[in-house]
Amino acid sequence: MTESPQTPPVFKDQIPPAEAPAAQGAATTYQALNKLKAVEDKYKQREGLSQFVESQPTPEEVKGRIEAAKQAEEMAQTKLTEALRTDNVVGESGLNKLKIVRDLKGGRTEAERAEQVGEAEEKTKRAIEVRLSSEDDYTAASMFTKEYLQKESDPQRIAMLIDANSRRGPLRASHEMITALHRQDLIQQEIKYYQEKGIEVPADKMLPLEVFTSLRDRIGKEWKYTEENVDASIRMLTTFHESAIDYTDAHGLKVDQRVLTEAVQQGMDITKLIGSGGPWDFAARRKGKSGAGNINFSDVGYYAIGSFQLEEFFSKHRIPDGEARVPYIMAYTGGVMENGAPAMVAHHMRDWLVDTLPSTQIRRVRKEGQWVDEQTEPSPRGFGSLITKNDSYYSFTVERTGTYDKGLVDVMQKAGEIVHSVDQKMKDRRVEWGQVRQFAVEEIRNPQLLQPEQ
């Protein structure tokens, strides 16, 4: 079994990255100059990558080859299993001496069986080789994209690299280059992990490397960090991260991956703020109290702690109110899920989105001798808006009793749709049942809009 000659080959790096920088010292000036020349030559070779820009297939295209190769391998395995059967082997006597008779009766001699097994084993071997080659192609296509090849073959960029390398000198290592090469190795390991676990996610939507490696590094460190549990966490967090990226792309937003990574880490640390002063002062301010001593323990739940964290987080990174904050809240909620302590996380996520998304507010005012509804311009309600003077968690009350505020009903419904989309992706990704239950999307309700009395 061979690939079609029309199938474009997949470029795989011809210059090992470790050979590109002048990372090793040299004993003599002559050796140093030769090494510098060798490094320059390798950089210049990168110009040849331009020929692969148009022909390099996308990871999605190569994925189709993998599926075809898997089907071919399954067919070959089935034929091998059939060939290995012994219950239809007959001796060469009587009518069975004639092959046409044996074929009609579904029988075969031991020699025929051995020949068929040999052919089936060879086809299976070739099918496995094609499948492994296709998977290797997928890794290469994910790493060496058209954009990467175009950047690496840019003559101006190559000239700058050569100049920078010569200024650095061939006798000392570049810390930045060594760090970059190590990071590239880790990215390849992450891509391989997703492939081995059968998690089909584009490379640009995988978990940030820092989050992925920190989770993998936990294996065996505590009793709860078994490989199985960490695998489940990676699958779950990937779902939230992918949802954040999908929302970003769908709404034409700009998101900073470093800040997105920090949002996940903030969510993981939500329980570290239990008992600390910040959330208590925040809740007191939202309830209109003079200080933390005037509020109850029930006023400072995970919604309040998260609201405090998110307000500080967005203020620190100067991310404006509104839609721009939604992807970060998705990533933060994934971190909260990984923390494991909060329950009904979908409810908290919905309410943080309600605080964030612009909405109108309706006030009943007296004008010209009658009661009329006055509507404000759409604006975010602010984190902790559902902590009211007489209610620690007003969204539960609104769900139960309804509200006259149409803007609140609309924004709760919109936020609920976002939360439901994440839940659906969790189920599509086969996220572990206990985590889906922890999210508990079925616990959120759209409130009823009450009609004011005239």
Please write the tens of the pLDDT for every residue from 296-333: 777 788 999 999 999 999 999 999 999 999 999 999 99
pLDDT, one tens digit per residue, over 92-130 is 766 666 677 667 667 777 777 788 888 888 988 898 888
383 shares its domain with 334: no
Percent of the chain scoring above 70 in pLDDT: 83
**Number of domains making up the chain:** 3
Is residue 352, in this structure, part of any structural domain at all?
A: no
The 3-state secondary structure of 357-377, one letter per residue: CCECCEEEEEECCEEEEEECC
Domain termination site, one of 97, 132, 161: 161
252 shares its domain with 298: yes
Looking up tokens 């676990």 gives 197
Is residue 83, in this structure, part of any structural domain at all?
A: no
Q: How far is CA 7 from its chain centroid? A: 29
Is residue 193, in this structure, part of any structural domain at all?
A: no
Is residue 382, in this structure, part of any structural domain at all?
A: yes
pLDDT, one tens digit per residue, over 194-223 is 999 999 888 889 999 999 999 998 888 877
Is residue 103, in this structure, part of any structural domain at all?
A: no
Strands 362-367 and 370-375, sheet pairing: antiparallel
Enclosing H/E stretch for 436: helix 433-439
305 shares its domain with 242: yes
Is 14's pLDDT higher than 50?
A: no
Q: Which positions ≥6 away from 138 have C-beta within 8 Å?
A: 59, 62, 63, 66, 195
Closest CA to 282 of 355, 338, 339: 355
337 shares its domain with 374: no
Helices (H), 371-405: 394-401
Q: pLDDT averaged over the chain?
A: 83
375 shares its domain with 422: yes
User: Mean pLDDT lowest for which of 280-294, 339-353, 368-382?
Assistant: 280-294
309 shares its domain with 248: yes
Enclosing H/E stretch for 117: helix 110-143
399 shares its domain with 306: no
31 pLDDT band (50/70/90 cuts)? low
User: Mean pLDDT lowest for which of 41-50, 74-83, 192-201, 257-266?
Assistant: 41-50
- Distance (Å, whole) CA 212 – CA 237: 9
287 shares its domain with 221: yes
Domain termination site, one of 102, 129, 161: 161
Is 22's pLDDT higher than 90?
A: no
Is residue 414, in this structure, part of any structural domain at all?
A: yes
422 shares its domain with 303: no
29 pLDDT band (50/70/90 cuts)? low
Q: What is the mean pLDDT of residues 368-378?
A: 84
Q: What is the mean pLDDT of residues 415-432?
A: 95
| pLDDT value of residue 164 | 62
Q: Which positions ≥6 away from 217 have C-beta within 8 Å?
A: none
- Distance (Å, whole) CA 61 – CA 245: 21
180 pLDDT band (50/70/90 cuts)? low
Whether residue 350 contacts residue 444, with contact meaning beta carbons closer than 8 Å, is answered with: yes
| pLDDT value of residue 18 | 41
Is 17's pLDDT higher than 90?
A: no
Helices (H), 252-384: 257-268, 277-286, 302-317, 326-339, 345-356
Is 19's pLDDT higher than 90?
A: no
Question: Would you state the structure tokens that stand for residue 135, as one six-digit string?
Answer: 């998977």
- Range of 17-26, 133-142, 285-294, 395-404 with top mean pLDDT: 395-404
User: Mean pLDDT lowest for which of 182-186, 257-261, 404-408, 424-428?
Assistant: 182-186
Strand partners, 362: 375
Is residue 87, in this structure, part of any structural domain at all?
A: no
| pLDDT value of residue 87 | 67
282 shares its domain with 370: no
DSSP assignment of 179-231 equals: HHHHHHHHHHHHHHHHHHTT----GGGSPPHHHHHHHHHTTTTSTT--HHHHH
Q: How far apart are the first and last CA of the chain?
A: 79
What burial letters (b/e) apply to 157-182, b meaning 16+ CB within 10 Å?
Answer: ebeebbeebeebebeeebeebeeebe
Q: Which positions ≥6 away from 50 have C-beta within 8 Å?
A: 149, 150, 153
41 CB-side CA count, 13 A: 7
Whether residue 392 contacts residue 326, with contact meaning beta carbons closer than 8 Å, is answered with: no
Q: What is the DSSP letter of 173?
A: -
Is residue 270, in this structure, part of any structural domain at all?
A: yes
Please tell me which residue, 363 or 199, carries the higher pLDDT value. 199
| pLDDT value of residue 246 | 95
Whether residue 362 contacts residue 407, with contact meaning beta carbons closer than 8 Å, is answered with: yes
Q: State the angle between helix axes of 227-250 and 257-268 in degrees (0 to 180), rounded to the nearest 10.
A: 130
Cα distances (angstroms) measured from residue 196 to each of 189, 231, 369: 10, 11, 72
What is the SS3 assignment for 302?
A: helix
7 pLDDT band (50/70/90 cuts)? low
Q: Which amino acid is at 423?
A: D
135 shares its domain with 244: no
217 shares its domain with 274: yes
Question: Would you state the structure tokens that stand for residue 301, as one six-digit string?
Answer: 């739940």
- Distance (Å, whole) CA 296 – CA 58: 56
Domain termination site, one of 306, 341, 376: 341
Range of the domain at 147: 119-161
